[in-house]
Structure 1
């Protein structure tokens, strides 16, 4: 007979498979195994050409390689935006000549960056129709007219997964995807995200609450990125003697969590001690790049992995990380701690990467500047049904 804990995990998985009927947009997200990037699919133009874009949680806008994409540059519904226009002002950027503009066209130029490679340029602000097909259990098509995006040159796709033609920005910015869905089709400025090691989803909805019990914490600052305030760190309930200066950033373009060097040194030492106390099978072995702390997988018992707590605004609100989001299987003989030493000059003391975000239901509410997160064991983002996590607000 299943134990109460295992029944609870099955219940959580079951919640994600229950069908509902709500007015939502679900964008499928697939993790690319070679680059560890999260790739979303949208359809461009009136002809609905499929385009793969890397998901950038903090990205201020969507950008697409137009130079090598004839179906994008020749789209009959595409229009370049003049620099002296409401749309250009809406982008929040100073009107400067665009990448392909001259003195006669005076196209609106917007700063466009590949957050993974660091490459940047000035792209041409354009608008076109995009169509989002959920392609999950209940396929549907939603068209968004006059969607603003940046037309970028081909060199900007360097470092992106094969077949990808740009990046899809979900940041807190005027022309990010959530903001444009709010102004274009009346959705709230909020979205749910559920990533996994295989298939995940980004879900937008006009009015919604969640069926899952979530903890909520404020989104700090006015940046386009998403920051939370981690006040302390605990491993197996024991607090670390570290000073966390600055905010903790959430990122989908960083594969694994990174920490400022002094925090990482204390963190890794405490984790090693806790692992040794919890299980004789967690023996330290030579690290495998890029990881700094690795263990033998011989006799490895996942249940013995120390639990990590990021304590937020109070002791009652914790982002809890279990072994599934902290230990990375490198090969058949080695597992490694999925937290990296980011050096001493990080702009954020801690960055929680994609691996730590996986299998967490996350509710980003841009209107109230709040983040809801599940941080529960057993959530099944790979089995996610777009209508399963939401209740319609009355």
Structure 2
């Protein structure tokens, strides 16, 4: 376990966490595609159970593998569902247990924990069956105690398990769904490791309500939190605290590599201290080179006004104060031949007979330090049906929080660097190889290929934010 946080600092952190909880309470997390107008299931995020990343040391004491990669780098395939214009949401395949079992999990940089559907969970996905290699975290385990102190677990004294209860609510009628489970440790088999490594992850044994239609096997939490997958690899000495993600929109492929991309042309902006998110300082938005009239306070940064990137969210959500200026600028810069209309959920749509990248304006996001992210129309518009596209940057009503999801992040190298506290990006063909450093600073070039055999059926649209509540 790491050092404790002084009482005065805890009080300050709790205040910040409460502001964050209010700011993201109703924010959607990811879409599973059919039609956007279909049923929406909102899972409300309670981020107040997290410790601030700056004050939170690594909470786990993990067993190091017998042998680490000999000059290689841990990399995983990326594959989308192919159900959307940018083929999201994006999944990867992991192998867990002994003998190894294969699972397709959501790549989620906004989620604090890795977890898998487990044992008796009655859901139509592959389930993890604990084997002789599995260890259940008991109440006295140092990892459980650390998770409890971070309010990410609750000891179940009746069976001596380190338990969690994921609570869900339907955004339309308030009905509830739940995912309940307990923490275990088991082996993960990774390309680049000569022997498997032991990690801690959630074993979800009961899913209820609309959540049973999810179609994925689990969630691959990659946030800055000390229990996330990247943090555990770092604690094991397998990788540095940096990873590279590239999501390919034409095919849904890509790569997830635990190391730093070395490609020339990367742009960086500082990461801000955050308990859960890769939070950045967005300062302005420009459309066709013209900066929009948005008050600087809208983007913050402050506990309630901030911007973050999140691969677990398929669309983007603009701070309330930025939405109208953005929509007005897009409409003003669009030729009259591209006929606008209001979609079934109030989104702005266009009937167009031409390529959206040639008919619609470019967008530029300007970050602190002069870093710029240049975006094409397909980075803010999504396909609905032939000749119909809608703007995929939605309004975060009543909140000054901006979330940049997959629609913005596709076709880019994204470097999440917690060691140097920065986020890097550059436009890139994610089907091509990427030069990445290893944990030892050696250069490695990945194959640039995805695992195209990953298939997941998404037949309903779910807008989800995952949160953890304690057992009572």
- TM-score of Structure 1 vs Structure 2, range by shorter chain: 0.7 to 0.9
Query: What is the CA–CA distance in structure 2 between the aligned matches of 1:275 and 1:124, rounded to whole Å?
Result: 52
Q: Which residue of structure 1 aligns with residue 187 of structure 2?
A: 129
Equivalent residue for 1:149, pick from 201, 211, 214: 201
Equivalent residue for 2:403, pick from 343, 351, 363: 351
Residue deviations 1:275-325 (CA, integer Å, cap 9, x gap): 23xxx54x23323345622222213452342111111114x3112111231
Equivalent residue for 2:367, pick from 312, 321, 325: 312
Q: Which residue of structure 1 aligns with residue 96 of structure 2?
A: 44
Query: What is the CA–CA distance in structure 2 between the aligned matches of 1:264 and 1:232, rounded to whole Å?
Result: 12
Query: What is the CA–CA distance in structure 2 between the aligned matches of 1:295 and 1:194, rounded to whole Å?
Result: 29
Query: What is the CA–CA distance in structure 1 between the aligned matches of 2:380 and 2:182, rounded to whole Å?
Result: 40
TM-score, reference length from structure 2: 0.67
Query: What is the CA–CA distance in structure 1 between the aligned matches of 2:112 and 2:356, rounded to whole Å?
Result: 41
Q: CA deviation at 1:391?
A: 5.1
**Aligned: 1:373 with 2:429:** no
Gapped regions of structure 1 (runs ≥ 5) = 1-20, 134-139
68-77 vs 265-274, which moves further: 68-77
SS at match of 1:88: helix
Query: What is the CA–CA distance in structure 1 between the aligned matches of 2:334 and 2:291, rounded to whole Å?
Result: 15
SS at match of 1:179: helix
Alpha carbons 1:113, 1:156 under 8 Å: kept = no
Q: Which residue of structure 1 aligns with residue 133 of structure 2?
A: 77
Assess, with a 3 A threshold, how the Cα gap between structure 1 residues 54 and 113 changes in structure 2: closer, same or farther.
Answer: farther
Alpha carbons 1:131, 1:142 under 8 Å: kept = no
Residue deviations 1:159-198 (CA, integer Å, cap 9, x gap): 4776522111000011211111112243101100111231
Q: Which residue of structure 1 aligns with residue 354 of structure 2?
A: 299
Equivalent residue for 1:68, pick from 101, 120, 124: 120
SS at match of 2:258: strand
Assess, with a 3 A threshold, how the Cα gap between structure 1 residues 299 and 39 changes in structure 2: closer, same or farther.
Answer: closer
223-232 vs 161-170, which moves further: 161-170
Q: CA deviation at 1:74?
A: 3.2
**Aligned: 1:326 with 2:383:** no
Aligned Cα root-mean-square deviation (Å)? 2.9
TM-score, reference length from structure 1: 0.79
Equivalent residue for 2:392, pick from 320, 330, 338: 338
**Aligned: 1:390 with 2:436:** yes
SS at match of 2:282: coil
Alpha carbons 1:112, 1:150 under 8 Å: kept = no
Query: What is the CA–CA distance in structure 2 between the aligned matches of 1:238 and 1:367, rounded to whole Å?
Result: 35
Q: CA deviation at 1:227?
A: 1.1
Query: What is the CA–CA distance in structure 2 between the aligned matches of 1:369 and 1:147, rounded to whole Å?
Result: 24
Q: Which residue of structure 2 aligns with residue 27 of structure 1?
A: 76
**Aligned: 1:255 with 2:310:** no
SS at match of 2:190: strand
Query: What is the CA–CA distance in structure 1 between the aligned matches of 2:391 and 2:153, rounded to whole Å?
Result: 45
Assess, with a 3 A threshold, how the Cα gap between structure 1 residues 302 and 126 changes in structure 2: closer, same or farther.
Answer: same
Alpha carbons 2:318, 2:401 under 8 Å: kept = yes
Q: Which residue of structure 1 aligns with residue 43 of structure 2?
A: none
Query: What is the CA–CA distance in structure 1 between the aligned matches of 2:326 and 2:365, rounded to whole Å?
Result: 12
Query: What is the CA–CA distance in structure 1 between the aligned matches of 2:134 and 2:195, rounded to whole Å?
Result: 14
72-81 vs 169-178, which moves further: 72-81
Gapped regions of structure 2 (runs ≥ 5) = 1-69, 300-304, 443-472
Assess, with a 3 A threshold, how the Cα gap between structure 1 residues 78 and 167 changes in structure 2: closer, same or farther.
Answer: same
Alpha carbons 1:292, 1:341 under 8 Å: kept = no
The alignment of Structure 1 onto Structure 2 pairs a total of residues equal to 350
